[in-house]
C-alpha cells in the first residue's frame, strides 16, 4: 500500500466527519491510490496537466456547493457530501412506512441495498470511461470544460457510493468498492454491469444525447434512491441530484445548440426542406432527421436501463422501503401499494395491450413513465428552436416498443410509432429510424478540436450564457502543451 | 403452553419413577402418576408419558452415572401390573403445539440415546424387563436398552402401533432401531409396524424384536439372574462411591438465566440469546482425587451442567429466540489445565463420566435447532473442549488485532488432542473431521498446532473460524449478520442448518435425528395426523381418522 499520509479533511471536502471516522479512513486509505491511478490512466495526459475552470462542491449549503476556479483534474477535490439530515424523517414507503428512517443498514436488507448501491456506483465511472477521448475533438473550450465538469462529478458520485460502501457495508463493502475500479467500460475481462455503459461515446452529439437521455435515467434512479428509508443513501442521492441537473443541462443545451446551428445554416443557405440532407451535410452541420435518429437510439437504450416492466426485485426494494417512487413524498396514496394496480404494456396474441398489474410489481414501469414525461420536456424546447427558425420538422420520442432489448418488447420488431412490422419492413425502415454507419462517419467527420477561446466548431452554436456568467471569450481550459 | 418447563429435578421430587439400588444392580420402576401430567387436559394412564415423565428419566440416567458409579446393570421395569408402558400420551400429543411435540421428541430421543450409550461409555448396561403391554414409545424405551426380556404370558407383547392407530410414526427412534439396531428383516419390520396388537412370545424373539422370551412363572428370577450375570461380566471397574449432583444455583428473570459460570442474556426484540461461559476462577486441582473431592463443583462438570440446563431451557421456554450466541471469557490455560487433568485420567470413572457428559452436551448443541454463532472475543477461552463449541456452531467470528480501549488478552483459540476424536458428533467422527470433510489435510494442519494459542489471522488461514474482524468492522458486521439471520424464516433456517451441520457418515443416531425426525415432523404437520378429523384428534372416539388418500 502506498502511504498517502493525507490530511483527508482538506483533501476531501466532506460533511461526514471524515477525519475522525476510523472505519472509513482506513478503507479510503486503501482505495484512494487506486482511484487516482484509475483517473490518471484514463484521461489523456495533456488534459490531466491542463488547468480547467471547474466547479467544486466544498459544502452542501448554497454558498459552498459551487466554487469555481482553475484546477488540474488529478488535484480536483472529490468530496463526500450528504444533504443535511432532516429531523424526524421517516421511511417513506413499503411495509415499514412511517417508522423512523434507518441511520444504519438494517441487516435484513443489507444485500439488497448493497446491490442497488453497487449498480448505481458502477455507472458513475463507466460514463467517464465511455467519454475519455472526447476532449480531443471538443468543439470549443467551453464544451471541453463542460465535459470535464461532468467527468469529475461522475467521479465524485463514485466517491459518494464508495463512501456508503465503506461506511456501512464492512468487508463486503470494501471488496465491492475495489471491484468498482476493477471493472471497466467495454472490457472483455470485467465489463461494467449495465450494457449501455459498455458502449463507447464516439462523438459529441452522442455525448449530448447520453447526458440528456442516459444521465436522466441516472437522475430517475437517484430520485428513487433519494426516497430510500436508509437515510444516508437518501441524503447522498439528494445532493448528487443537484449536480446531475448540470449534466442534463449540458445534454439539453448541447443538442439544442446543434439544432440551432443546423437551422441557422439551413436558413442562411435557403434550405427549407429538412430532408434535403445531402445539401445540409455538405454545409457541415447535422441534419435534423439524423438528430431524430440519434434521439431514437439513445432514448430507447436508456429505456432498457429501467429493466423489466414487471419486476419482483423492484417490488421487493419498494416494499422493503429502500427505494421509493419518483417524488414519493408528493404522491397521495398509502405508500404501501398493497391493493393498488398500475397499467403496463404487455404483448398478447400478437399485439400490444395495456394491462393492469399489481402496482407493487410495476415500480420500474412507473419510474419509466415518469422518465418519459421528464424527457419529453427538453424535446419540446428543441422543437421550439426549430419552430422559431420556421422549419417544418418536429422531433419526437419514439414509441417505447421501438428498438428494445429488455422487457416485453424485446425480440420483436416495432417501428418508431409502435407498430409491429415485418422483418422486411424493419430492414427497409431501419436506416431512417436509427443512425447508420455512414451517419456515424459523417458526424465523425465534423468532430474537430477547437481550442481558440470564444470559438466554436461549425456544427454547433455558442451558448447563450457562459459558465459562472463568464464572457464569451473566456478561457475555460488553459491547455497544457501537448 | 406458557408454563415454565424446568429440567432440574431430583429423586425427592419424582412422581413417576422410583429406583432401587442393590450394589451393582439398579432397578428403575416406571410407575407414572396418572394425575401428574405437566399440563392440564390429560391423564397419564397406562404408564404413558409426557415431557415431565421424561425429565425425571433423564435425571435418573444422569444420576446413575455420577451418583451411582457402582451400578453396572440397570433393569427397567414397570411398577404397574398389566402394562409396561403405553408410550407417549396421545391426548397430550393431540393437544400440544407442533413446536412442543418436536421439542418433546427431541428431548426423549436424547435421553434414550444417553442410556443406550451408557454401556459403551461407562459400562452401565440398561436392560428392559417387559411384562404387560409394551407399545409405541414404551417399546422404544425398551429398544434403547441393550437387552430386552419379554415374558411369555400370552398377553404381553411389544408393538409399534403408531401407524395403524395414530397415523404418525414411532418417532423416538422406533423405526430406526428396529432395523438398524435389532436388525429385524425389513419385511418383518413392515408387518410389525403395521399391526396394532404387536407381537408376543416366541415370535417376538424369532423376529429379533426381543432378546429373550421367558416363561411368566420364572420371569422375575431370570431377570434377576441375567442382571447378576451381566454385572459379573462387566468390565466396569468397581467404584465405591459417586459424587452428588446438588441443585444448580440458578436465577431466571426477564432478561435471561443466571448461573455461576454461565450467563444467558436474552434480547427478545432481536430474538437472540447470548450465552457467556466463564473460565475457571482457580487453578486446576492437583490430582483426580481432588476432582472427586470437588465433585459437582469441579469446573468442567459444573459448567457442563449449567450449560446443559441453559440449552434445554432455551429450547423449551424461549422458542422465539432464533439465535444463540456463544461467548467465553477466562484464562484459556486454566480451562486447558482442567481438561488435561481429565484427559490424563481417562480411566478414572469420574474423569470418564465428565468427558462423556461433554460428548453428550456437545451433541445436544449440534442438535439444537437454532442458529448458532460463536464470538471469539479478546479475553475468551475457547480451548480444547470449549473450542469444540466453535466447530459445533453454524458460524464463528473472531476478533483480529487490538481493539481500542480493550485491554483484555488478544483473542486466541487453542486446540487440544481432544478436538480430534474425544467428542464425536452423532455421525461418529469429530467436528473437525466433519468440518474438513473435503480437506483432510486441514485436519492435519490443525493437529500440528495443538497447544499453541492461535491468533485470528492464523485461525483464519487454518479454517477454524468463519470470519476474522478488526476493531473497525467487528460491531457492525456482527450486528448486520444477526439482524439478517433474525429476519429469515425460522423453518428454513432449521432445515438449512440441520442439513449443513451433519456432513459425513450416517449412523443410527443421524438417521434418527435426520430421517426419522424429519418425516415425523412432516407428518405432525399433516391433517391426516393432526387435523380436526385426523387420527390424533379422533383417537379414543371410536371413529377412525379421515384421511386424504393422495400419496405425496
ipTM metric: 0.77
Gap between the Cα atoms of B62 and B129, Å rounded = 21
C-alpha distance from A460 to closest chain B C-alpha (Å): 53
Partner residue opposite B487 with nearest CB, options A104, A105, A107:
A107
Residue B403 to chain A, least CA–CA distance (Å): 12
Band (pLDDT 50/70/90 cuts) for residue A65 is: confident
| pLDDT greater than 60 at residue B107 | yes
| pLDDT, position A316 | 92
Residues in A closer than 8 angstroms to B469, CB to CB, are: 170-171
- The answer to whether residue A1 scores a pLDDT higher than 60 is no
Residues in chain B closer than 8 A to A107 (CB atoms): 479-487
Question: Whose CA is closest to B174, among B108, B252, B90, B254?
Answer: B108
Q: Enumerate the residues of chain B whose CB falls inside 8 A of the CB of residue A105.
A: 480
A63 touches B: beta carbon within 8 Å: no
How far is B480 from chain A, CA to nearest CA, in Å?
A: 4
CATH code linked to domain A8-478: 1.10.620.20
Contact A170 B467 (CB under 8 A): no
Residues of A in contact with B484 (CB under 8 A): 107-108, 110-111
- Check CB contact of A106 with chain B, cutoff 8 Å: yes
By C-alpha distance, the chain A residue nearest B475 is A170
CB contact under 8 A, B487 and A105: no
For chain A, what percent of residues have pLDDT higher than 70? 98
Query: In angstroms, rounded to a whole number, what is the distance separating the alpha carbons of residues A287 and A432?
Result: 12
Average of pLDDT values for B128-146? 97
Instruction: Give the nearest chain A residue to B467 (CA atoms).
Output: A171
**Interface touch A110/B467, C-beta < 8 Å:** no
Contact of B472 with chain A, judged by CB distance below 8 Å, is answered with yes
Dig out the grid coordinates for A106 from the structure. 438494517
Judged by phi (left if over 0) then psi (alpha if -120 to 50, else beta), residue B266 lies in beta
pLDDT at A473 over 60: yes
Distance CA A420, CA A358 (A): 27
Interface size, chain A vs chain B, as Cβ–Cβ contacts under 8 Å: 37
Across chain A, mean pLDDT equals 92
Partners of residue B485 in chain A, C-beta under 8 Å: 107
> Is B480 within 8 Å of chain A by CB?
yes
DSSP labels, A381-441: HHHHHHHHTT------PPPTTTT-SSSTTTTS-B-TTS-B--HHHHHHHHHHHS--HHHHH
A482 — pLDDT class (breaks 50, 70, 90):
low
Residues facing A80 on adjacent strands: A14
Q: Does residue B420 belong to the interface with chain A, where contact is any CB pair within 8 Å?
A: no
Instruction: Tell me whether strands B256-258 and B251-253 are parallel, antiparallel or unpaired.
Output: antiparallel
Judge: A107–B469 Cβ closer than 8 Å, yes or no.
no
Cβ contact A22–B480 (<8 Å): no
Could you tell me if B231 and B225 are in contact, meaning their C-beta atoms sit under 8 angstroms apart? no
DSSP string across B21-76: EETTEEEEEE---TT--SSSS---GGGEE-HHHHHHHHHHHHHHHHT-TT--EEEE
The Cα of A228 is separated from the nearest Cα of chain B by a number of Å equal to: 18
Question: Looking at CA atoms only, how far is residue A182 from chain B in angstroms?
Answer: 23
Name every residue whose Cβ is closer than 8 Å to that of residue B74 and which is 6 or more positions away in sequence. Answer: B25, B26, B27, B28, B64, B115, B118, B124, B125, B126, B127
Mean pLDDT, to the nearest integer, of B425-454?
98
What percentage of chain B reaches a pLDDT higher than 90? 91
Residue B482 at interface with chain A, using a CB cutoff of 8 Å: yes
pLDDT at residue A2 tops 70: no
The pLDDT of residue A343 is above 80: yes
User: Cβ separation of A104 and B479 shorter than 8 Å?
Assistant: yes
Q: Which residue of A105, A171, A173, A174 to mutate against B (max B Cβ within 10 Å)?
A: A171
B149 near B212, Cβ under 8 Å?
A: yes
Residues in B closer than 8 angstroms to A22, CB to CB, are 471-472
pLDDT one-digit tens code per residue, B355-410: 999 999 999 999 999 999 999 999 999 999 999 999 999 999 999 999 999 999 99
CA-nearest residue to B486 within chain A is A108
For B237-258, the pLDDT digits (tens) are 999 899 999 999 999 999 999 9
- Whether B485 and chain A come into contact, CB under 8 Å, resolves to yes
Residue B444 distance to chain A (closest CA, Å):
30
Q: Does B475 touch chain A (CB under 8 A)?
A: no
Measured between beta carbons, the chain B residues lying within 8 angstroms of A110 are 480, 483-484
List pLDDT tens digits, range B299-358.
999 999 999 999 999 999 999 999 999 999 999 999 999 999 999 999 999 999 999 999
Q: Of B386, B398, B382, B426, which is closest to residue B434 (Cα–Cα)?
A: B426
Question: Which band of pLDDT confidence, cut at 50, 70 and 90, is reported for residue B145?
Answer: very high
pLDDT band for position A62 (cuts 50, 70, 90): confident
The answer to whether the CB of A279 falls within 8 A of the CB of A270 is no
Judge whether A230 is closer than 8 Å to chain B, CB to CB.
Answer: no
Which residues in chain A touch residue B481, judged by CB atoms under 8 angstroms apart? 107
How close is the nearest chain A Cα to the Cα of B476, in Å?
Answer: 7
Cβ-contact A31, A42 below 8 angstroms: no
pLDDT band of B87, cuts 50, 70, 90: very high
B371 contacts in chain A (CB < 8 Å): none
A434: its cell numbers: 436509427
List C-alpha distances in Å: B421 to A417, A424, B71. 75, 75, 27
Contact state of B480 with A110 under an 8 Å Cβ cutoff? yes
Please list every residue in chain B whose beta carbon sits closer than 8 Å to the beta carbon of residue A171: 467, 469, 473, 477
Q: Between chains, do A107 and B480 touch, taking CB under 8 Å as contact? A: yes
Contact A107 B467 (CB under 8 A): no
Whether A373 contacts chain B with CB within 8 A: no
Domains and CATH numbers, chain B: 11-233 (3.90.226.10), 251-500 (3.90.226.10)
Mapping DSSP to helix (H, G, I), strand (E, B) and coil, where does residue B294 land? helix
Band (A22; pLDDT cuts 50, 70, 90): confident
Q: What is the pLDDT of residues B154-204, one digit of tens each?
A: 999 999 999 999 999 999 999 999 999 999 999 999 999 999 999 999 999
Whether A5 has a pLDDT exceeding 50, the answer reads: no
Indicate yes or no: CB of B473 within 8 angstroms of CB of A23: yes
Restricting to B residues 449-468, those with a Cβ less than 8 Å away from any Cβ of A are 467
Which one of B402, B472, B475, B481 makes the best mutation probe of the A interface by having the most chain A beta carbons within 10 Å? Answer: B472
pLDDT of residue A29 exceeding 60? yes
Tell me which residue in A105, A108, A170 faces B487 most closely, judged by beta carbons.
Answer: A108
pLDDT tens, position by position, A443-458 = 999 999 999 999 999 9
User: Tens digit of pLDDT for each residue in A352-397?
Assistant: 899 999 999 999 999 999 999 999 999 999 999 999 999 999 999 9
- Determine the distance in angstroms separating the CA of A310 from the nearest CA of chain B, rounded to an integer: 25
Q: Which residues 2-31 of chain A have a CB within 8 Å of chain B?
A: 22-23, 26
In chain B, residues with a C-beta closer than 8 Å to the C-beta of A106 are 483
Q: For chain A, say whether B487 makes contact (Cβ under 8 Å).
A: yes
CB-nearest to A107 from B471, B472, B482 is B482
What Cα–Cα distance (Å) separates residue A131 from each residue in A144, A206, A296, B161?
11, 10, 20, 78
Alpha-carbon span A99 to A92, nearest angstrom: 8
How far apart, in whole angstroms, are the C-alpha atoms of residue B50 and residue B86?
11
Which residue from B467, B469, B484 is facing A107, i.e. has the nearest CB?
B484
The 10 Å Cβ neighbour count of residue B34 is: 13
Question: Collapsing DSSP states into helix, strand and coil, what is residue A80?
Answer: strand
What is the pLDDT at residue A13?
85
Report CB contact under 8 Å: A104, B467: no
pLDDT of residue B1: 43
Instruction: Decide if A358 touches B, using CB distance below 8 A.
Output: no
Amino acid at each position: 500500500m502506498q502511504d498517502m499520509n493525507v490530511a483527508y479533511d482538506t483533501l476531501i471536502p466532506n460533511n461526514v466527519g471524515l477525519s475522525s471516522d476510523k472505519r472509513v479512513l482506513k478503507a479510503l486509505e486503501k482505495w484512494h491510490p487506486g482511484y487516482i491511478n484509475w483517473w490518471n490512466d484514463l484521461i489523456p495526459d495533456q488534459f490531466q496537466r491542463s488547468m480547467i475552470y471547474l466547479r467544486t462542491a466544498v459544502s452542501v449549503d448554497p454558498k459552498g456547493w459551487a466554487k469555481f476556479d482553475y484546477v488540474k483534474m488529478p488535484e480536483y477535490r472529490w468530496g463526500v457530501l450528504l444533504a443535511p439530515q432532516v429531523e424526524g424523517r421517516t421511511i417513506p414507503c413499503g411495509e415499514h412506512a412511517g417508522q423512523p428512517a434507518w441511520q444504519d443498514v438494517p441487516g435484513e436488507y443489507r444485500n439488497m441495498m448493497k446491490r442497488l448501491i453497487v449498480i448505481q456506483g458502477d455507472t458513475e465511472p463507466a460514463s467517464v470511461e465511455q467519454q475519455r477521448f472526447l476532449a480531443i475533438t471538443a468543439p470549443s473550450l467551453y464544451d471541453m470544460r463542460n465535459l470535464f465538469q461532468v467527468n469529475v462529478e461522475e467521479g465524485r458520485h463514485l466517491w459518494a457510493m464508495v463512501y456508503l460502501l465503506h461506511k456501512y457495508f464492512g468487508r463486503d463493502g470494501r471488496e465491492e468498492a475495489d471491484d468498482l475500479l476493477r471493472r471497466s467500460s467495454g472490457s472483455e475481462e470485467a465489463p461494467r454491469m449495465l450494457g449501455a455503459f459498455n458502449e463507447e461515446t464516439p462523438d459529441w452529439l452522442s455525448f449530448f444525447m447520453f447526458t440528456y437521455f442516459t444521465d436522466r435515467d441516472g437522475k430517475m434512479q437517484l430520485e428513487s434512491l433519494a426516497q430510500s428509508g436508509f437515510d444516508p443513501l437518501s441524503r447522498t442521492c439528494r445532493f448528487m441530484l443537484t449536480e446531475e441537473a448540470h449534466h442534463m443541462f449540458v445534454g439539453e443545451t448541447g443538442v439544442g445548440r446543434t439544432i440551432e446551428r443546423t437551422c441557422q445554416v439551413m436558413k442562411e443557405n435557403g434550405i427549407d426542406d429538412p430532408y434535403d440532407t445531402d445539401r445540409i451535410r455538405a454545409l457541415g452541420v447535422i441534419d435534423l432527421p439524423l438528430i431524430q435518429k440519434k434521439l431514437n437510439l439513445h432514448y430507447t437504450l436508456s429505456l432498457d436501463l429501467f429493466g423489466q416492466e414487471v419486476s419482483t426485485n423492484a417490488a421487493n426494494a419498494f416494499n422493503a422501503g429502500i427505494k421509493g417512487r419518483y417524488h414519493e413524498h408528493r404522491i397521495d396514496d398509502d405508500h404501501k401499494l398493497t391493493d393498488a394496480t398500475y397499467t403496463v404494456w404487455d404483448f398478447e396474441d400478437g399485439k400490444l395491450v395495456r394491462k393492469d398489474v399489481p402496482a407493487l410489481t410495476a415500480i420500474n414501469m412507473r419510474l419509466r413513465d415518469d422518465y418519459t414525461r421528464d424527457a419529453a420536456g427538453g424535446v419540446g424546447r428543441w422543437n421550439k428552436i426549430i419552430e422559431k427558425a420556421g422549419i417544418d420538422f418536429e422531433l419526437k420520442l419514439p414509441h417505447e416498443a421501438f428498438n428494445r432489448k429488455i422487457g416485453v418488447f424485446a425480440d420483436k420488431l416495432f417501428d418508431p410509432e409502435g407498430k409491429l412490422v415485418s422483418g422486411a419492413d424493419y430492414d427497409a425502415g431501419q436506416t431512417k429510424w436509427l443512425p447508420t454507419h455512414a451517419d456515424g462517419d459523417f458526424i465523425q467527420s465534423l468532430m474537430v478540436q477547437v481550442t481558440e477561446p470564444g470559438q466554436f466548431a461549425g456544427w454547433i452554436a455558442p451558448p447563450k450564457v457562459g459558465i459562472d456568467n463568464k464572457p464569451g471569450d473566456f478561457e475555460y481550459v488553459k491547455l497544457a502543451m501537448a | 403452553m406458557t408454563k415454565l418447563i424446568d429440567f432440574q429435578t431430583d429423586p425427592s421430587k419424582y412422581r413417576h419413577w422410583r429406583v432401587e439400588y442393590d450394589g451393582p444392580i439398579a432397578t428403575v420402576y416406571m410407575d407414572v402418576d396418572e394425575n401428574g401430567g405437566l399440563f392440564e387436559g390429560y391423564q397419564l394412564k397406562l404408564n404413558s408419558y409426557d415431557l415431565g415423565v421424561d425429565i425425571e428419566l433423564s435425571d435418573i440416567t444422569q444420576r446413575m452415572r455420577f451418583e451411582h458409579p457402582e451400578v453396572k446393570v440397570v433393569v427397567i421395569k414397570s411398577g404397574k401390573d398389566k402394562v409396561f408402558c403405553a408410550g407417549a400420551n396421545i391426548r397430550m400429543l393431540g393437544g400440544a403445539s407442533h413446536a412442543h411435540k418436536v421439542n418433546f421428541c427431541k428431548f426423549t430421543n436424547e435421553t434414550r440415546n444417553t442410556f443406550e450409550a451408557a454401556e459403551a461409555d461407562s459400562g452401565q448396561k440398561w436392560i428392559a424387563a417387559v411384562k404387560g403391554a409394551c407399545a409405541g414409545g414404551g417399546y422404544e424405551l425398551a429398544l434403547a436398552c441393550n437387552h430386552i426380556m419379554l415374558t411369555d404370558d400370552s398377553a404381553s407383547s411389544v408393538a409399534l402401533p403408531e401407524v395403524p392407530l395414530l397415523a404418525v410414526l414411532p418417532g423416538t427412534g422406533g423405526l430406526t432401531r428396529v432395523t438398524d439396531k435389532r436388525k429385524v428383516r425389513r419385511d418383518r419390520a413392515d408387518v410389525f409396524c403395521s399391526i396394532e396388537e404387536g407381537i408376543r412370545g416366541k415370535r417376538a424373539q424369532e423376529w429379533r424384536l426381543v432378546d429373550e422370551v421367558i416363561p411368566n412363572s420364572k420371569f422375575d428370577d431370570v431377570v434377576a439372574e441375567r442382571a447378576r450375570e451381566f454385572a459379573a461380566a462387566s468390565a466396569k471397574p468397581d467404584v465405591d462411591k459417586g459424587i452428588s449432583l446438588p441443585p444448580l444455583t440458578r436465577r431466571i428473570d426477564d432478561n435471561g438465566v443466571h448461573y455461576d459460570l454461565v450467563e444467558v442474556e436474552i434480547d427478545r426484540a432481536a430474538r437472540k440469546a447470548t450465552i457467556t461461559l466463564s473460565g475457571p476462577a482457580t487453578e486446576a486441582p492437583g490430582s483426580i482425587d481432588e476432582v472427586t473431592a470437588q465433585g459437582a463443583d469441579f469446573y468442567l462438570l459444573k459448567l457442563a451442567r449449567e450449560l446443559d440446563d441453559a440449552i434445554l431451557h432455551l429450547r423449551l421456554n424461549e422458542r422465539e429466540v432464533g439465535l444463540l450466541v456463544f461467548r467465553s471469557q477466562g484464562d484459556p490455560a486454566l480451562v486447558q489445565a482442567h481438561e488435561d487433568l481429565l484427559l490424563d485420567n481417562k480411566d478414572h470413572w469420574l474423569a470418564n463420566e465428565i468427558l462423556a457428559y461433554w460428548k453428550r452436551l456437545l451433541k445436544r448443541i449440534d442438535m439444537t435447532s437454532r442458529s448458532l454463532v460463536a464470538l471469539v472475543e479478546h479475553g475468551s477461552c475457547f480451548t480444547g473442549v470449549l473450542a469444540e463449541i466453535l466447530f459445533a456452531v453454524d458460524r464463528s467470528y473472531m476478533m483480529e488485532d487490538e481493539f481500542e480501549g480493550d485491554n483484555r488478552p488478544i483473542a486466541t483459540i487453542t486446540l487440544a488432542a481432544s478436538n480430534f476424536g474425544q467428542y464425536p458428533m452423532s455421525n461418529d467422527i469429530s467436528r473437525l473431521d466433519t468440518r474438513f470433510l473435503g480437506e483432510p489435510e486441514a485436519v492435519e494442519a490443525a493437529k500440528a498446532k495443538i497447544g499453541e494459542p492461535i491468533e485470528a489471522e492464523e485461525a483464519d488461514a487454518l479454517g477454524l473460524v468463519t470470519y476474522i474482524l478488526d476493531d473497525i468492522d467487528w460491531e457492525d458486521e456482527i450486528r448486520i449478520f444477526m439482524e439478517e439471520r433474525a429476519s429469515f424464516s425460522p423453518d428454513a433456517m432449521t432445515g438449512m442448518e440441520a442439513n449443513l451441520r451433519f456432513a459425513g457418515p450416517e449412523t443410527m443416531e443421524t438417521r434418527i435425528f435426520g430421517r426419522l425426525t424429519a418425516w415425523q415432523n412432516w407428518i405432525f404437520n399433516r391433517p391426516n395426523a393432526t387435523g380436526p378429523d385426523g387420527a390424533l384428534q379422533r383417537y379414543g372416539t371410536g371413529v377412525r381418522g379421515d384421511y386424504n388418500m393422495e400419496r405425496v
